[in-house]
A and B are shown apart, each in its own frame.
Chain A
């Protein structure tokens, strides 16, 4: 969104005018001084102190419009760098509209365009582009996760990481310029050392950011929890078990097809799509085969993958997954019905899984679990010995396997979230471009001796980084040199 910039004072209701509320917030921005507002107040508005609320009457041409609370934010120390007056008025739609049209009608203010307050903040360098994008994510968030990402971009960890990237680049750029303009002052060896260090450290920052940028966005925005297994292995039971206490109160997202039985479950304010797939087996039936093909394709993109196997039929399990499929949980059902010890060779033919659950209804079976109760064994499946299985037995009851899986899903999500994923598409793309530029740059720095060309190459990298956050100007670089290094003959 771009505006023809004029600096005329603007007015808008910041709290929405769609329904009656207790309080409506009207913002005035961009007036030269408080005297500009003297027509709207009976008291001497020029005496109003910044950042302090005041209860007063809003008037215009001898008519009292409303009783309001006003707060003055003096530029440049305001949200967008301009003088801002916030008016908390009674939130009746008609009242809000009347107040705004009074301001507009006075000729002193015009209606703000959408986003114009923030646009001015960007112009006045109170916010960077990436912060504005964060604000956009925040204001339009449809999940707790997006809210969090919005905050992170606006002023949180992600913004700090971008700033850190910028600082690392400045350091690199500074060290190049030190090498050229101040080598005599700093010393040749020292200046070469500085350059190498700066290059390595920038590379590390970029690699970390790239990792965050390349985390599957889908895994975040609509994580799928998928259940696969042979027909009658117990998928539907487990599906219902998981659904039991966690059914999400969300409507079906428009446009999604229901190839399979799907429901939404909610864990810590995040909704997950729970998918019960068609039973996997080798089949001649072309329709069934198509269903299985689709199941496998969904499986590949799913956030949390559960494979359920009836342990008594394990010898019949012959479905082969591609070698890169790794399950999050492997659930063996009907362990109580297994009378003899398992041959571990059988297990080695199964796909890898991070966790394994054994379900049993008999408390005194070799697997010590109750009906649908579970014992958790962590670690990848591989050759293991039966008698190694241990764990709490706990009161057997339906839901306990569900509870365990829910915890697992929650943990996996937390781990993913703690890696600070980047979900704004532009940022993901630019970060990848930055990484590509850096690769070119670092190979150049190893092969070239001409510092001026290396410096010019670094501009290409710098432009990409500026795209992510802002503009790198020569003054910033010189400033950085002077504040961090001892220059002078």
Chain B
């Protein structure tokens, strides 16, 4: 089998990368792990947020898919920072993760020039004519001119729940080999990174009446420019807010030595901005009250995501501390929280198109680059996918300036500095925050749309 561009990994970065290079008319393959849907949401079931909403709209204005998938699966809308000025307002939606992934699968299956193969990759090497030879664990051999790596947390992934450890990129999944085994000649960061996710709670065991309800906002505009501005594609539901208390935190503090993060079992570096509940408990010893947003994962599933209590404590402790929280006294856990450690590429060895300087033709995007968040991953996937495609076609690369876009800020930050913790976008990272807004996204992306040759009705007013 021979392809122009092969994407290794079918998450949010991989999907954007595949769709972007396919839009250029190239023959694209997505190689992904068996048993996982395209663009699944293994953590927080939300798209957008402060700084991230801007990224989703930038992706949308450049022909990407995240915005339209989010709209179609959005079960709750909100504008964050609404009272604080246009520049820092951002859209965030809670998504139905089942619908989101299903829509993504549909999109891919409808694209004639995207093929999906669900097999783990064993090795990627260059042959004598400079093409990549990809071998899967089932022995399938694929030849590809360009390769985009969007493996997320899978490279050498190791999960921790208390003393239990297992191999894999996420719960119930296989792991890939280490970065250096799969991609010869690519430098990995010396430190591994770590991220975590909370337990999922069964719907029937939650007492929502004890929590503060947050309804969906019907004045929030959709992400995708092609959608009717306030159209809601699926039923709207509420999220609920509750809080931890002194009891919760004392249980966590009492079990410090059983926490893989603090007893040395986990070596990886986690993000300070998205700390696990253990981090909060041990680092901020005076604070017992932390927000917990109880978010539905899907209209079709009966699991809820307790946002704010990500943990890798042993299973019985997870249940014990959750049950101290108001409204969760009777709760039962469907899936336990865990932390995962994974290999990360040294992004300073990438160029501004996210291509490896060490192995030209090989691109990296998403969590494998040490970022966190679906939006960050998708933004990079778009850049890597478009540029792999443009390079294949012998066209000039697409480079978003940091002055006009958050994607530009992120890519430049990634390739110019070594990461010492997972990277997340904040509006504070942009020097030009007053201009890089959601409301002027079409204007900001106009020049890049022209470069790509995109056109739709919006451009009538800008041309």
Contacts and interface: CB of A to CB of B under 8 A. Distances in A.
A436 interface: no
Interface string A442-480: 000000011111011000000000000000001001100
Per CB-CB distance, the 10 closest pairs between chain A and chain B, nearest first, are: A450-B85, A452-B87, A451-B84, A488-B275, A482-B272, A486-B284, A181-B426, A177-B428, A180-B88, A452-B85
B291 A181 contact: no
A460 to B, nearest CB: 13
7 contacts: A177-B428, A181-B50, A181-B51, A453-B85, A453-B87, A478-B428, A486-B275
Given A183-B80, A183-B84, A452-B427, 11 more contacts: A181-B51, A449-B83, A449-B85, A451-B84, A452-B84, A452-B87, A453-B85, A453-B434, A477-B428, A487-B273, A489-B274
B441 to A, nearest CB: 16
Nearest to A456: B434
A400 B429 CA distance: 68
Interface in B237-281: 272-275, 279-280
B307 A489 contact: yes
Contact of A450 (B86, B283, B290): B86
A265 B426 CA distance: 62
Given A179-B84, A180-B427, A451-B85, A486 B280 contact: yes
Interface string B37-51: 000000010000011
Nearest to A455: B433
A486 B291 CA distance: 11
A148 interface: no
Nearest to B92: A184
Contacts of B50: 180-181, 184
B287 interface: yes
A408 interface: no
Contacts of B273: 182, 482, 487-488
A180 B275 contact: no
B193 interface: no
A397 interface: no
Nearest to A176: B428
B81 A180 contact: yes
Interface string B422-442: 000011110101100000000
A450 B84 contact: yes
B308 interface: yes
B440 to A, nearest CB: 13
Nearest to B417: A475
A182 B275 CA distance: 13
Contacts of A474: 428-429, 431
A455 B50 CA distance: 15
A488 B85 contact: no
Given A482-B273, A488-B273, A185 B84 contact: no
B293 interface: yes
A187 interface: yes
B54 to A, nearest CB: 12
B283 A185 contact: no
A113 to B, nearest CB: 32
A172 to B, nearest CB: 13
Nearest to A173: B428
Nearest to B46: A489
Residue from A177, A180, A453 whose CB has the most chain B CB atoms within 10 Å: A180
A456 B431 CA distance: 9
B434 A452 contact: yes
Contacts of B308: 488-489
Interface in A25-74: none
Interface in A164-201: 177, 179-185, 187
Contacts of A488: 272-275, 279-280, 290, 308
A425 B284 CA distance: 44
Contacts of B275: 486-488
A181 B283 contact: no
Give the most central of A455, A487, A488: most B CB within 10 Å: A488
A455 B427 CA distance: 11
A449 B86 CA distance: 11
Contacts of B431: 474
Nearest to B286: A486
B87 A450 contact: yes
Contact of B80 (A184, A449, A487): A184
B428 to A, nearest CB: 4
A1 B51 CA distance: 43
Contacts of B279: 488
Contact of B291 (A179, A185, A450, A451): A185
